[in-house]
């Protein structure tokens, strides 16, 4: 069956060196942190982890924007701050064959994997056609061409990133992405603190479904601490 999907391949740049310098046990611990963060982000944004690939992963989404948001958020994941690894990513979208219900065959899948291979740590390489689906808090560089193994002609790509941090920016209390009034998707009153800015409806939903006073679960203070730490 032919379907249209958006694919992202992610990989931990520097993982092999980490294994050599800090040992297998430490590397497995870092990998567990990465996988835990990615599961949490994908669950909130509605993106499927199609498969784990050692120190990386393949993501699949019916809609493009959640996949882009997931890739950009995991690049800035607080859990990996200070570690000697950095996430890199390649993203494409297009028609592919869905094989036996859980595997995807086609050029878009292969190209996303190749772009991930070409990316450096902390870099997202994407098909320029996906720029229109970027959230307002992300930006794309100028299109450029790269040589991709197995593809005869150079391929156009763009580098995706978060907007530079400014003094006016505040952190989404759920995901921690820094936003301004111009780049926020939504906002909610924060009482005497002013208002919360949110990067997506999924973060709004997570915030509004947090446990109320007296209920079990993370407190508002925990959400804020995790969001802006």
pLDDT in tens, 124-176: 999 999 999 999 999 999 999 999 988 889 999 999 999 999 999 999 999 99
| pLDDT score at 50 | 96
- Among residues 141, 7, 11, 165, the alpha carbon closest in space to that of 75 is found at 11
The CA–CA distances, whole Å, from 143 to 58, 65, 67, 146, 175 equal 24, 19, 20, 10, 28
Q: Give percent of the chain above pLDDT 70.
A: 92
Question: Residue 119 carries which DSSP code?
Answer: P
pTM for the predicted model, two decimal places = 0.90
Pairing assessment for the beta strands 178-179 and 56-61 based on DSSP bridges: unpaired
Angle between helices 15-22 and 24-45 (to 10 degrees): 140
| pLDDT score at 212 | 64
Q: Residue 223: which pLDDT band, with cuts at 50, 70 and 90?
A: very low
CB of 188 within 8 A of CB of 195? yes
pLDDT in tens, 193-218: 889 999 999 999 999 998 865 444 44
């Amino acid at each position: 069956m032919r379907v249209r999907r958006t694919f992202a391949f992610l990989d931990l740049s520097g993982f092999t060196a980490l294994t050599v310098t800090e040992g297998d046990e430490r590397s497995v611990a870092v990998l567990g942190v990465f996988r835990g963060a990615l599961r949490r982000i994908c669950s909130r944004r509605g993106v499927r982890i199609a498969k784990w690939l050692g120190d990386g992963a393949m993501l699949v989404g019916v809609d493009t924007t959640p996949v882009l948001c997931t890739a950009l958020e995991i690049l800035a994941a607080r859990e990996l701050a200070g570690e000697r690894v950095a996430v890199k990513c390649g993203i494409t979208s297009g028609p592919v064959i869905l094989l036996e219900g859980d595997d995807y065959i086609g050029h878009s899948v292969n190209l996303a994997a190749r772009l991930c291979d070409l990316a450096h740590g902390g870099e997202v390489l994407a098909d320029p056609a996906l720029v229109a689906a970027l959230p307002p808090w992300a930006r794309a560089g100028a299109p450029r061409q790269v040589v991709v193994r197995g593809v005869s002609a150079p391929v156009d790509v763009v580098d995706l990133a978060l907007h530079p941090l400014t003094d006016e920016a505040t952190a989404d209390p759920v995901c921690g992405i820094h936003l301004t009034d111009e780049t926020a998707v939504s906002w909610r009153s924060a009482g005497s603190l002013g208002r919360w800015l949110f990067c997506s409806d999924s973060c709004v939903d997570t915030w509004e479904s947090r446990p109320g006073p007296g209920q079990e679960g993370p407190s508002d203070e925990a959400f804020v601490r995790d969001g802006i730490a």
